[in-house]
Structure 1
Amino acid sequence: MGIVQILLVLAMLALLVKPIGTYVYHVFSNEKNGQDRIFGPFEKLIFRLIGLKNRGGMTWKQYALGFLLTNIVLTAVGYVILRLQKYLPFNPSGIGGMEETLSLNTAISFMTNTNLQHYSGESGVSYFSQMAVMTMMMFTSAATGFSVAIAFIRGITSKGKTLGNFFEDFVKAHTRVFLPAAILVTLLLVALQVPLTLNPTLIVQTLEGSTQSIAMGPVAALESIKHLGTNGGGFFGANSAHPFENPNPLTNVVEMLSMWALPASLPYVFGRFARNRKQGWVVFGAMMTLFVAFLSLIYFSELRGNPAIAAMGIDASQGSMEGKEVRFGIAQSALFSAVTTAATTGTVNNMHDTLTPLGGLGTLGQMMLNVVFGGKGVGLINMLMYAMLGVFLCGLMVGRTPEFLGRKIEPREMKLIAVAILAHPFIILVPTAIAFLTDAGSGAITNPGSHGITQVLYEYASSAANNGSGFEGLADNTPFWNMTTGLVMLLGRYVSMIAMLAVAGSLVRKPWVPETIGTFRTDNKLFYGILIGTVLIIGALTFLPAVVLGPIAEHLKLG
């Protein structure tokens, strides 16, 4: 039955890819369509309010500057609100202002679409902060990533000279994608018993005669964009394991599809822009193949259970239920863990720290590769980066200048791609080493040995991939962890985005090369295999030594 549940969710996703991808394509194609009659007047008002009179195309530098300045301003606003939340409205529980390094870490975390939480939602932030900082940044960070992905797609597929206009894409991502979708998902979650209220904490009397405080709030509104925007920050500390955030298996499926559908549709959007839908399906197929492999590793590891417990003569036939909710079981817990790390969302319905070593490896591996669907556009951008690398390597083997989608891949593009590829392991492995070499870092590790290595590795991999989930055994709310993970989140978000925008800006200016008999095709089964091989050889082998010291060593020790 567990496999049937998983296959049903996979089937639902497959059915959603084409209609959602078609809709997203029409949003950003800048061709007149029926959406303009619905959203056009509202968007014109927004453009007038922000002073956007000229919506002409931008170069890659202008586009990058636009999204960087926007993100800097929003981060500063978020930081100020978190520091001053004690004096702001909608704070019925009287929660005080956040500590300086934690405020900075939180503002960076939500603006980079990471939502790494070193605080507990119900006790650390007010209702106003949940709405004005967390929910606001969940929309804006998702719209930023989505816009950059679309600009990158335009750059490598179009015959124009620009990547589009960031502010126009940013507004459209809000008005035509995230706001309408968030309203629909919010209404659905409210109908399924997820709370949506501004009432203060509920005080109830228990059967023993004492009192208990039950935190509530505008949960459904945050839940919808938390998943649609692949953000992951929970209203409550227990995240989607909390019954108010995720009360039953039906809401569990709704949340998984919400965080997965848009990233999964982007390869189809890419195929539409490239005027070659097979191209998009090849990328989608490569992503899905990698996803199924990691999902299988997680599911069957959790189903097998902990061999150390079985060796003690204890019945472990039900699998490893440690850290999991009974209402979800192993199947929906494993699938949720696979989806949230594939889509770099970071929301959890079970505690990843309690996964079996190989189950934890499955979640860790997807964040290390950061190409298995990914968040809002990041996964597609990174997968296309590996596609260009694969084309370049094949070109070297046959002695021909490599081409991708009608444009030559030359040294400038390869240097930028190398920067993006090398930056990701660098910002994971170097801080991990520093954490073990310093008292400030190693003092937070609560588990000795291999599991402690995995805890630290997971924290920085989650930060670098802008995922946000964590092995909660790590005592990470300290100045050292707040500052180092904040820096890793910034580098993980912006280095690859800027580098790949530069690649798109370089390619968009190049002349179109007509296809010949010697052109290496990138829309067939051969390239599908080359793409997966390139990801595994270049991406996976980079992290192999660290993985061997962590989850693999822990698995072997368990026997």
Structure 2
Amino acid sequence: MASWLQVAVLVVALAVVHKPLGDWVARVYTSEKHWRVEKLAYRVVGVDADSEQRWPTYLRSVLAFSLVGVLLLYALQRLQAVLPLDNGMAAVEPSSAWNTAVSFVTNTNWQGYAGESTMGHLVQMAGLAVQNFVSAAVGLAVLAALVRGFARAGTDRLGNAWVDVTRSVTRLLLPLAVVGAVVLVLGGVVQNLSAGTDVTTLAGGSQWIPGGPVASQEVIKELGTNGGGFFNANSAHPFEGPSAWVSLFQVFLILLIPFSLPRTFGRMVGDRKQGFAILGVMGLLAAISVALLSGFQAGALPEGQEVRFGGPLSSLFATATTLTSTGAINTQHDSLTPLGGMVTLFNMMLGEVAPGGVGTGLYGMLVLAVVAVFVAGLMVGRTPEYLGKKLGRREMTLASLYILTTPAIVLVGTAVAIALPEGRAGMLNSGPHGLSEVLYAFTSAGNNNGSAFAGLSANTPFYNVALGLAMAFGRFLPIVLVLALAGRLAAQGRVPVTSGTLPTHRPLFAGLLTAVVLVVVGLTYFPVLALGPLAEGLS
């Protein structure tokens, strides 16, 4: 009953905000007016906010912005010992600093370190929390460009990357984060600048209790589908997740924007039914995942679970974070049953599209929709069309490369780690579970999730470099392909609807799209899943 009640409350809350938030996001990316604070930012950067960019220019802006973010965050970590609010922390080791800089800039938030014993408050606030905002904004900007590609015709312009990123922060992420942070503070999440306090325990011993600006980072960690925790225990830490209702509120924050974006998509392309179809597929995949993980975890030993939350909420949280690119945890995923752990792995392997990360989930689903339309066209012998755009050889090449990019990163990375002594040295387990831990790490990095199986010692030079590369390629190669596809679509004229046009807003297409997501993506990973979690679960 508790599990059903939690899901019901969550669904009702998401349904209430779906329309107003989705409509607001559509206005954010279609308005021609600039706020004063935005105009100030454009003057500082030297951007003409009223000029629009072709897709190569849009891409260069996104890549340049992200590169600067990596360099600044790396420098903050390496100079930490001489900066204010360092809390006595030393400079972060170079390979770990590289890994963390790439991790937060790519919206992955993989953490090979313990936050409370590695990062000072300034690095947490000015480095990690800031990247939580802007990395999420980059994902939203790329989505806005792709949707414009579908909505526009006969143009080579996709908008302005600097404007889209700025508006994502000022008009969406920052206002929601302020409200969410207040709720978290009221719920008991810590928010101060204390370096920590020495206390005497009930047993008479001494313990150091860390403090810090936790709520302000916690809210954007969830809202931006980032996942990087202030403390090593992430949302299982009592200062990050004090109670069950706060943990459920965090799940709501994770899903808030991704489940509202299909409404935005429908509004921007001028057909809200298209948004409903995408939302239906996302909701169906999410429901299947919640049911499977809850079923596999039912009756399992509560090892690795926080007793304040219990099994049902832990399963719901794990499902939400791996279906999105969040990576936050309120339970140890390594302690899940083998088949339960396989569900979280499979959620990421699907590309985190149900509903996925902020921006990234929807543009991933739209690429899969392009593939689904192409498959339907092959079945009936017609040229595939989606939203009035013909899908020819070049469009399908870009979509196919998008689908193949992440599996290649994950499977090659896993194979290299298993083959090399440096990779095997970090494995604390052998057999199928050891393979699952390495596979989970590269799946999490390549899909920009950030969660982990705890049995892998990943804070080594080998894994810091290898996973950093997986995160970078897993983030930016798909962005290149998505923006190239957007440019191709925007340049086309609009094909009129005929009696032979496949309706892409009806249940038949939603079912086809669901099948494409499960079959096209799922079959890619089945052999390695059979060797890892499936073999362990059936043994």
TM-score range normalised by the length of the shorter chain: over 0.9
- In structure 2, stretches of 5+ residues that fail to align are none
Contact 1:425 1:543 in 2 (8 A): yes
Determine the structure 1 residue equivalent to 2:22: 21
The 3-state SS of whatever aligns with 1:263 is coil
Name the aligned partner's letter for residue 235 of structure 1: F
Determine the structure 2 residue equivalent to 1:192: 187
Name the aligned partner's letter for residue 248 of structure 1: S
Name the aligned partner's letter for residue 43 of structure 2: R
Determine the structure 2 residue equivalent to 1:500: 482
Inter-partner Cα distance in structure 1 for 2:10 and 2:214: 24
Are residues 1:380 and 2:373 paired?
Answer: no
C-alpha displacement of 1:50:
2.0
C-alpha displacement of 1:30:
2.1
Contact 1:91 1:127 in 2 (8 A): yes
Inter-partner Cα distance in structure 2 for 1:520 and 1:296: 32
Q: How does 1:323-472 map to 2 (within 5 A)?
A: 323-370=304-351, 371-472=353-454
Inter-partner Cα distance in structure 2 for 1:200 and 1:11: 40
1:87-123: CA deviation from partner (whole Å, max 9, x where unpaired): 110123x110011110000000000000000000000
1:66-102: CA deviation from partner (whole Å, max 9, x where unpaired): 010001011101001101101110123x110011110
Inter-partner Cα distance in structure 2 for 1:302 and 1:193: 28
C-alpha displacement of 1:448:
1.4
Determine the structure 1 residue equivalent to 2:495: 513
Name the aligned partner's letter for residue 357 of structure 1: P
C-alpha displacement of 1:393:
1.4
Determine the structure 2 residue equivalent to 1:152: 146
Q: How does 1:217-366 map to 2 (within 5 A)?
A: 217-305=212-300, 320-366=301-347
Contact 1:427 1:464 in 2 (8 A): yes
Q: How many residues align?
A: 536
The 3-state SS of whatever aligns with 1:304 is coil
C-alpha displacement of 1:453:
1.1
Determine the structure 1 residue equivalent to 2:113: 119
The 3-state SS of whatever aligns with 1:213 is strand
Contact 1:101 1:482 in 2 (8 A): yes
1:101-157: CA deviation from partner (whole Å, max 9, x where unpaired): 100000000000000000000001111110111011111101111111111111112
C-alpha displacement of 1:439:
0.7
246 and 412 in structure 1: CA distance in 2 versus 1, 3 angstrom threshold: same
Inter-partner Cα distance in structure 1 for 2:201 and 2:389: 69
Inter-partner Cα distance in structure 1 for 2:507 and 2:41: 45
Aligned-residue identity in percent: 43
What is the TM-score when the length of structure 1 is the normalising length?
0.94
Are residues 1:8 and 2:26 paired?
Answer: no
Contact 2:105 2:131 in 1 (8 A): yes
Match of 1:538 among 494, 505, 520: 520
Inter-partner Cα distance in structure 2 for 1:121 and 1:230: 18
C-alpha displacement of 1:15:
2.2
The 3-state SS of whatever aligns with 1:148 is helix
Deviates more, 1:83-92 or 1:41-50: 41-50
C-alpha displacement of 1:54:
4.6
Inter-partner Cα distance in structure 2 for 1:365 and 1:208: 44
C-alpha displacement of 1:537:
1.4
Contact 1:295 1:362 in 2 (8 A): no
The 3-state SS of whatever aligns with 1:420 is helix
Contact 2:417 2:423 in 1 (8 A): yes
Are residues 1:81 and 2:62 paired?
Answer: no
Inter-partner Cα distance in structure 2 for 1:296 and 1:391: 28
- In structure 1, stretches of 5+ residues that fail to align are 306-319
Inter-partner Cα distance in structure 2 for 1:537 and 1:212: 52
Contact 1:248 1:328 in 2 (8 A): yes
C-alpha displacement of 1:518:
1.0
Inter-partner Cα distance in structure 2 for 1:273 and 1:416: 23
Name the aligned partner's letter for residue 129 of structure 1: V
Determine the structure 2 residue equivalent to 1:139: 133
The 3-state SS of whatever aligns with 1:264 is coil
Deviates more, 1:14-23 or 1:94-103: 14-23
Inter-partner Cα distance in structure 2 for 1:214 and 1:148: 41
Deviates more, 1:330-339 or 1:442-451: 442-451
Inter-partner Cα distance in structure 2 for 1:260 and 1:208: 41
Contact 2:154 2:492 in 1 (8 A): no
Determine the structure 1 residue equivalent to 2:175: 180
The 3-state SS of whatever aligns with 2:208 is strand
Inter-partner Cα distance in structure 2 for 1:454 and 1:545: 12
Name the aligned partner's letter for residue 351 of structure 1: Q
Name the aligned partner's letter for residue 494 of structure 1: F
Are residues 1:212 and 2:212 paired?
Answer: no
Determine the structure 2 residue equivalent to 1:70: 65
C-alpha displacement of 1:396:
1.8
Inter-partner Cα distance in structure 2 for 1:210 and 1:540: 52
Match of 2:39 among 29, 35, 44: 44
The 3-state SS of whatever aligns with 2:510 is helix
The 3-state SS of whatever aligns with 2:207 is strand
Inter-partner Cα distance in structure 1 for 2:253 and 2:381: 45
Name the aligned partner's letter for residue 14 of structure 1: A
Name the aligned partner's letter for residue 425 of structure 2: G
C-alpha displacement of 1:160:
5.9
- Tell me how large the CA RMSD over aligned residues is: 1.1
Contact 1:342 1:372 in 2 (8 A): yes
Match of 1:104 among 92, 98, 108: 98
Are residues 1:90 and 2:72 paired?
Answer: no
